[in-house]
């Protein structure tokens, strides 16, 4: 979902080897001797120098040996993309919402003047956001797929880390509907979004 790197993390006088993941609003480190999750909001004095990403937390200085990725990660931590930017919704885009979405997301769409159309609208949407909460709702993906034209995108938003419906379930249903999965994004603290499009050869 985010970016990841095998690296060494140094903190509190010890070095730990493992995998670092740069997510939407936090940095996660997983290794045999240390597991760490640091929200961007708690990082201070974030710098990148000589291939090392450095930042201070309430527990002290943290250093990640990232090589050429250090500067890019620093930039993403200091200037993270908004959810709308990550999802690719441009100002004035025609958007259709199907399912339950939090009020914050609806307000974000309004902030970029995206037009939220109804499901029975005659206008073809540029983006469809479909909320899926359980396997029993996967059949709705095929219905949504029929509304896609050209390069329009379908984002399937589903619970993160739940057995009620998994990433594999969503991908399988999307492919059965004739679509191609092209991108995954963190939608919220509880949900993930997976983007589908019509394969180029079929447009």
pLDDT tens, residue by residue, 8-58: 999 999 999 999 999 878 899 999 999 999 999 999 999 999 999 999 999
In this prediction, residue 167 carries a pLDDT of 94
How far apart CA 87 and CA 81 sit, in angstroms, is 10
Give the global pTM. Answer: 0.70
- Show the CA angle centred on residue 178, arms to residues 109 and 190, nearest 5°: 40
Structure tokens at 82: 């908004």
The pLDDT score that the predictor gives to residue 169 is 96
CATH superfamily of 83-202: Vaccinia Virus protein VP39 (3.40.50.150)
In the chain, what is the straight-line distance between the N-terminal and C-terminal CA atoms, in Å?
27
Q: CATH number for 3-78: choose from 2.30.29.30, 3.40.1410.10, 2.130.10.10, 3.40.50.300.
A: 2.30.29.30
| CB 173, CB 154: distance < 8 Å | no
Decide: 181 and 175 in contact? Cβ < 8 Å.
yes
Question: Under DSSP, is residue 29 helix (H, G, I), strand (E, B) or coil?
Answer: strand
Q: Enumerate residue ranges in the chain where pLDDT < 70.
A: 1-2, 116-123
- List the domain boundaries for the chain: 3-78, 83-202
């Amino acid at each position: 979902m985010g970016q990841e790197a095998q690296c060494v993390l140094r903190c509190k006088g010890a070095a730990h080897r493992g995998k670092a993941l740069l997510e939407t609003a936090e940095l996660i480190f997983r290794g045999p001797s240390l597991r760490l999750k640091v929200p961007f909001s708690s990082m201070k004095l974030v710098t990148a120098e000589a291939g090392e990403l450095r930042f201070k937390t309430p527990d002290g200085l943290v250093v990640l040996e990232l090589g050429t990725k250090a500067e890019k990660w620093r930039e993403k931590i200091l200037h993270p993309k908004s959810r709308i930017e990550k999802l690719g919704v441009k100002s004035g885009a025609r958007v259709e919402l199907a399912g339950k979405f939090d009020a914050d997301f609806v307000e974000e769409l309004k902030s970029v003047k995206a037009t939220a159309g109804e499901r029975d609208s005659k206008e073809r949407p540029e983006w469809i956001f479909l909320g899926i909460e359980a396997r029993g709702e996967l059949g709705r993906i095929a219905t949504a797929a029929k509304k896609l034209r050209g390069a329009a995108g379908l984002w399937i938003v589903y619970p993160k880390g739940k057995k009620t419906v998994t990433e594999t379930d969503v991908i399988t249903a999307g492919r059965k509907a004739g679509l191609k999965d092209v991108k995954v994004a963190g939608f919220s603290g509880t949900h993930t979004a997976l983007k589908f499009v019509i394969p180029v050869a079929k447009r």
